[in-house]
Amino acid sequence: MSHNNLASLTTVIGLTINGVGLIFVATQVVLARRQINDNLKRSIEEADRVKRQATVEFYMATMKKVGEWRSKLPADWDKRAIDAYVRNAYRRRHEDKIRVLANYLQYYEALSVAVLSDVYDKRIIDSIAGSRIMNIAENYAGFFVARRKEVGADTAYRNLEQLGYAIREFRKSPGYRGLAWQDAGRLG
């Protein structure tokens, strides 16, 4: 074999080895990118699951206190009874009644802030208390206006009103059937 042939053969072998090496490195890069994307997707899914779980846990942990407030207040969907309660509480200066109502509504205001800030999951809150939140936002609207004037805070209960509206709009969205219906296929 001549020196030129040997040099050419060595060059071809070297190029082949380099080509195989490049293919190996490119394959590793593709696999690493796929793994990173998979891990990112799983991390996002886990964060969403944790947010849903935290939403349920928060709501369940506060049920007893909220139930105590509810036992002293009219039903959230009974606007006439709500209006009578508020009139009576203010007319007779029943500070205890006003405080119970203010605490109850402040709870839902804080919950609304957490949902609207994406700390808690809107779909979960809609499933657990969506109708209640919409009713509170609508039926206490007159109280909200009066309370804003009374305490001099134009922002009082705005988040609660906004969440009530957002849930109502969410429920109007195409294909909305509620969480139980959306997840029924996964469970069956």
Higher pLDDT, 25 or 2: 25
Q: What is the pLDDT of residues 74-101, one digit of tens each?
A: 999 999 999 999 999 888 888 999 999 9
Check: CB of residue 76 under 8 Å from CB of residue 136.
Answer: yes
Higher pLDDT, 73 or 16: 73
pLDDT of 145 > 60? The answer is yes
Task: Please give the average per-residue pLDDT across 145-162, as a whole number.
Answer: 92
What's the whole-model pTM score?
A: 0.76
pLDDT of 160 > 80? The answer is yes
Q: What is the reported pLDDT for 187?
A: 47
What mean pLDDT is reported for the chain?
Answer: 90
Q: What is the pLDDT of residues 95-131, one digit of tens each?
A: 999 999 999 999 999 999 999 999 999 999 999 999 9
pLDDT of 4 > 90? The answer is no
Check: CB of residue 157 under 8 Å from CB of residue 105.
Answer: yes
How far apart CA 70 and CA 100 sit, in angstroms, is: 9
